[in-house]
């Protein structure tokens, strides 16, 4: 005769401060891959506020974001801070694989236990940021990495996704990239708390800085200049991030911020699913182009009052 069935033993609570690098890596993977254990972990992480700040570093390709992040990490370590870097790499549209090159570019930090560098596949996200980023940043902050820097793939005006998942956004520009300030006005620039002219020792940097300052006329302090290669201006950028952070109420409006994060992630997910269906012809036969043409026609109509983005 069998004895009474024993109740399942609940998993012990996570000792965040005692996470070793290997277990931290496994937990990050569980969140990124949305496993059952990862979803349970996400629920626990979202139920609390964690110390520190998550900063998005975004901008068009070629602006030197990775080099600038390396400079920020060095300066933060000089100040005694622990740093996590989440570098979102572009995914293959076919297989979903990513280049995952930022680990190679930041090998200088490989032996530092207070620096974690994690490359993440964008997994086809329209805004260039996988929906797991915010929760992976929460995990790093829970584990004591109170500065988390998120680098995006730099796909241009779709970068509002990263702004919804971080506390502050830094938009990095560089001279010679051919970007028109007015063309970016409604997108990339408006999502930035700080605007950085990187590679400031190159020709055209003065003109770009003036254009950005003119665009941000009411807040000229938002525009900074750096040369990530030499390190010039990196400490000043970090000081500016600190000031912006202090200007905001402690913790901010957490509920409103979380709602905005969920809204933008839901829109990103829906856009990604629709894009997949349009690419693979999974919409009902004959309806793919009709649907696309209907959306395009709607975009050409003037906005109704109160409906503009």
Q: Answer whether 139's CB lies under 8 Å from 17's CB.
A: no
Q: Taking residues 138-155, what's their average pLDDT?
A: 88
Per-residue pLDDT tens for 96-108?
444 455 555 677 8
**Which is higher by pLDDT, 141 or 47?**
141
Q: Higher confidence at residue 306 or residue 105?
A: 105
- Residue 79: the pLDDT is 96
- For residue 27, the surrounding DSSP H or E stretch is helix 21-32
Q: What is the pLDDT of residue 260?
A: 61
Q: Indicate whether 153 pLDDT > 60.
A: yes
- The pLDDT tens digits of the residues spanning 33-58 come to 889 999 999 989 988 889 999 999 98
Asked if residue 186 has pLDDT above 70, the reply is: no
| Average predicted confidence (pLDDT) for the chain | 76
Highest mean pLDDT among 1-5, 44-48, 161-165, 241-245: 241-245
pLDDT of residue 130: 67
**Of 134, 162, 124, the residue nearest 271 (C-alpha):** 124
What are the CB-based long-range contacts (under 8 Å, 24+) for 228-231?
228/64, 228/67, 228/68, 228/70, 228/71, 228/198, 228/199, 229/64, 229/67, 229/199, 230/201, 231/71, 231/74
The whole-angstrom separation of Cα 24 and Cα 239 is 29
Q: Cα separation of 188 and 158, whole Å?
A: 7
pLDDT of residue 157: 43
Q: Which residue has the higher pLDDT, 19 or 264?
A: 19
User: What is the share, in percent, of the chain residues with pLDDT greater than 90?
Assistant: 31
Look at 27 and 93; give whichever has higher pLDDT. Answer: 27
Q: How much is the pLDDT for 75? A: 96
Quick check: 6 pLDDT over 60?
no
pLDDT for the residue numbered 95: 42
Query: Which pLDDT value is given to residue 19?
Result: 86
With a cut of 90, say whether residue 93 has pLDDT above it.
Answer: no
Phi, psi of 86 (to 5 degrees): -110, 105
Q: What is the pLDDT of residue 94?
A: 42
Q: Are 103 and 117 in contact (CB under 8 A)?
A: yes
More confident residue, 157 or 194: 194
CATH code for the domain defined by 16-249 = 3.40.50.300
Write out the H or E segment, with its range, that includes residue 161.
helix 160-163
Domain ranges of the chain: 16-249, 256-297
> What is the rounded distance in angstroms from the CA atom of residue 28 to the CA atom of residue 214?
41
């Amino acid at each position: 005769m069998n004895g009474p069935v024993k109740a399942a033993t609940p998993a012990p609570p996570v000792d965040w401060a005692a996470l070793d690098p290997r277990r931290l890596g496994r937990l990050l993977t569980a969140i990124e891959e949305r496993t059952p254990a990862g979803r349970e972990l996400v629920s626990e992480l979202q139920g609390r506020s964690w110390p520190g700040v998550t900063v998005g570093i975004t901008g068009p390709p070629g602006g030197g974001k990775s080099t600038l992040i390396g400079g920020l990490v060095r300066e933060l370590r000089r100040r005694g801070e622990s740093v996590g870097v989440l570098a979102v790499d572009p995914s293959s549209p076919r297989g979903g694989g990513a280049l995952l090159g930022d680990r190679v570019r930041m090998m200088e930090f490989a032996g530092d236990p207070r620096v974690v560098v994690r490359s993440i596949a964008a997994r086809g996200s329209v805004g260039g940021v996988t929906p797991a980023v915010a929760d992976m940043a929460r995990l790093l902050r829970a584990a004591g990495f109170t500065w988390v820097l998120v680098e995006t793939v730099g796909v241009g005006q779709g970068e509002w996704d990263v702004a919804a998942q971080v506390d502050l956004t830094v938009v990095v520009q560089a001279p010679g990239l051919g970007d028109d300030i007015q063309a970016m006005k409604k997108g990339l620039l408006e999502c930035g708390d700080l605007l950085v002219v990187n590679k400031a020792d190159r020709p055209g940097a003065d003109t770009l800085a003036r254009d950005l300052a003119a665009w941000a006329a009411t807040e000229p302090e938002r525009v900074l200049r750096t040369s990530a290669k030499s390190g010039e201006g990196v400490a000043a950028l970090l000081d500016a991030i600190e000031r912006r952070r202090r200007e905001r109420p402690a913790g901010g409006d957490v509920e409103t911020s979380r709602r905005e994060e969920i809204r933008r992630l839901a829109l990103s997910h829906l856009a990604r699913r629709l894009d997949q269906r349009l690419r693979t012809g999974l919409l009902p036969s004959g309806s793919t182009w009709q649907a696309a043409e209907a959306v395009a026609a709607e975009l050409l109509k003037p906005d109704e009052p109160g409906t503009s983005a």
